[in-house]
């Protein structure tokens, strides 16, 4: 949003010498975007809510050419996309960026304005718009980003949304999980979610060797065994015949599942 500086909204945290989290802790969503450097290029995983100057935050960290890639095309992960001419999305959600997003602007704005939030001076909620645009790249399962000495692999992990993706770095063992895995309540209750697909996607990432989980929301200090525990929870729900919309909310300690 023009006029709102990065320093007024974002918290920037260094993960390692070439990886940063750009977080929005002043909003109840506690969204995270991640900036990854190689020697030749940078990758921005998600662009947040669209409240602050994401491009300004990114440019304060690197002068490398940047490509943005959304874990999925929900409003809270693509809000800053307009600031990045080069952006990628999974094929299953390209139409959402062309105007077919399944929620009207009024519903999105109502979610944005839910308390608690502490918007910076100058933010005009009435001017907030859903991002629309044409991706520079359409992604599919097992595609890669080559950043120069750093490879990031695309994993199609549907369930939370049809085109949801996790991003995996085999060399570092970093897994960027979007809305598939985080500490908090995992959502598979929207009409565009698929509980059974969600369970399969969790099982897929739970089998990966990981050194760090980097989620789309909430706490950054995520135990590396969380995917295996979420996988076990979904297996329990499946055994009980509860993998369907409307089954309820189920708590498993530091995470939950809303179906």
CA atoms in the 13 A half-sphere facing the CB of 100: 8
User: Which tokens go with 68?
Assistant: 């943005």
Q: Could you write out the DSSP letters of every residue in 87-151?
A: EEEEGGGHHIIIII-SS-HHHHHHHHTPSSB-PPTT--GGG--------SEEE-TT-EEE-SS-E
39: which 2 tokens? 């020697």
pLDDT value of position 162:
98
Domains and CATH numbers, the chain: 6-178+209-219 (3.60.15.10)
Task: Tell me how far apart the 2 most distant CA atoms of the chain are, in Å.
Answer: 52
Token pair in block for residue 144: 């890669």
Helix (H, G, I), strand (E, B) or coil at 164: coil
* pLDDT value at residue 115: 87
Across the 259 residues of the chain, what is the mean pLDDT of every consecutive 10-residue run? 60 97 96 98 98 95 98 97 97 95 93 90 90 97 98 98 98 98 97 97 98 98 98 98 98 98
């Amino acid at each position: 949003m023009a006029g709102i500086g990065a320093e007024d909204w974002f918290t920037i945290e260094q993960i390692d010498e070439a990886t940063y989290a750009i977080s929005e802790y002043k909003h109840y969503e506690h969204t995270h975007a991640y900036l990854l450097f190689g020697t030749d290029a940078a990758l921005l995983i998600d662009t947040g809510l669209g409240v602050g100057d994401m491009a300004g935050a990114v440019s304060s960290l690197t002068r490398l050419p940047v490509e943005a890639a959304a874990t999925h095309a929900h409003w809270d992960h693509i809000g800053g996309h307009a600031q990045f001419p080069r952006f990628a999305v999974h094929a299953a959600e390209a139409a959402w960026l062309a105007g077919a997003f399944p929620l009207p602007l009024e519903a999105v704005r109502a979610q944005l304005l839910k308390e608690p939030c502490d918007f910076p001076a100058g933010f005009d909620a009435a001017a907030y718009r859903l991002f629309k645009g044409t991706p520079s790249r359409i992604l599919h399962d097992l595609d890669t980003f080559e950043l120069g000495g750093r490879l990031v692999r695309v994993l199609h992990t549907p369930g939370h949304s049809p085109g949801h993706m996790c991003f995996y770095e085999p060399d570092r063992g970093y897994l960027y999980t979007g809305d598939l895995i985080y500490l908090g309540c995992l959502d598979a209750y929207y009409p565009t979610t698929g509980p059974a697909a969600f369970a399969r996607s969790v099982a897929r990432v739970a089998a990966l060797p990981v050194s760090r989980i980097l989620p789309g929301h909430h706490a950054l200090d995520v135990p590396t065994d969380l995917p295996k525990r979420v996988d076990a929870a979904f297996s329990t729900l499946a055994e009980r015949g509860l993998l369907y919309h409307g089954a309820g909310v189920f708590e498993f300690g530091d995470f939950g599942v809303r179906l």
